[in-house]
Amino acid sequence: MYNRFIFVLLFSVALSQQTYKSVHQVELEYNNENFIEPFYKTYTDPADPLSKTKKKITRKVFGYHPYWQGTKWQNYNYDLLSTIAYFSAEANENGELTDLHGWPAIDLINKAHENGVEVVLTVTLFSKTKLETLLGSSENQNRLIDNLKYEVDRAGADGINIDFESFPESQKSNLVTFVKNLRASLRSSNPNAQVTLATPAVDWNNAWDFNSLASESDGLFVMGYDYHWKGSTLTGPVAPLTGGSYNITNTMDLIFQFIILMR
C-alpha cells in the first residue's frame, strides 16, 4: 500500500492561473538570470543506496531544495525530513529537458541517503500552451517519461515530483495517463520509486482530477497560497487558515473528500 500524503506550503505570491506567475515560476526565472549554477563533482556511478535508518518522524515531511540554494543541503536537519525534492529540471513542450540546473546532485543525494532521506527530481513547466502540446501528444509524453527515467536512474534517485502550473482543463485526463505511465516506467527499474504532484489549493478552472491523480500517484502536494492576490477585488490574506469562501481549512476538507489516504 502506498501513502497518499498531502502537504501545505505558505507563500506570498501573485496568482499563476491567468496572467500572473506563482512563486515557483517567479523565483526560477529570477535565479536563472542572477544565480551561478551549482557545481557538483562528476561521478560515473549513481548515488549510494537509501539507508534504512529509522526516522524519528511519524509523517511524511517533504521539502524542496531549489538549485540556487547551493550547498545549504550540507546543513539540513535530516532527522526532520523524509524526502527532498531537487528543484528543478525544466521541460519543454516536446518532452525534452532543457535545463537540469546541476542535476545529478550526487553529493546531495549521498548525504540524504546516508540519513535515510529520499531525493526526487522536480520537473517544471509553467505554460498553458506548452502543457497542451506536451500532454496532448503521446509521443511527447513518452519522450519526457524516458528522459525523466534516465535522470532518476543515472543519479540513483528515488522518483519525480511534477510541478505543472497554469494547467489547462483540456489536459485533465491526459495528466492522469502521464502520471500513471511515468510511475510504471520508474518502477520498472526501482519498485519503490515515487511520483508526486504539486497541486493548486483551489482548482479555479476545474482542470485537476484529484481523485484519479491520488490513485495513480504517491501523493499530492497542496500549494496552500494565492487565496488572495494583488488583483483581487477584496483585500485578504494570501494563505488564510479560516474565513471567507476559500481557505486552507476548506481546501483540506474538500481534498479529503476526494482522496483515499491509503489503498
Q: Which positions ≥6 away from 243 have C-beta within 8 Å?
A: 236, 237
Residue 187's DSSP bridge partners are none
In the chain the domains, ranked by start, together with CATH numbers, are: 5-258 (3.20.20.80)
9 versus 29: which is more confidently predicted? 29
Mean pLDDT within 217-224: 89
Length of the chain: 263
User: Can you give the pTM of this predicted structure?
Assistant: 0.85
**pLDDT above 70 for 13:** no
Residue 124's DSSP bridge partners are 90, 163
Backbone angles phi, psi at 26, to 5 degrees: -60, -50
What was the pLDDT predicted at 18?
Answer: 45
Provide the pLDDT confidence category of residue 10 given band limits of 50, 70 and 90: very low
Residue 54's DSSP bridge partners are none
CA angle 188, 143, 164 (to 5 degrees): 95
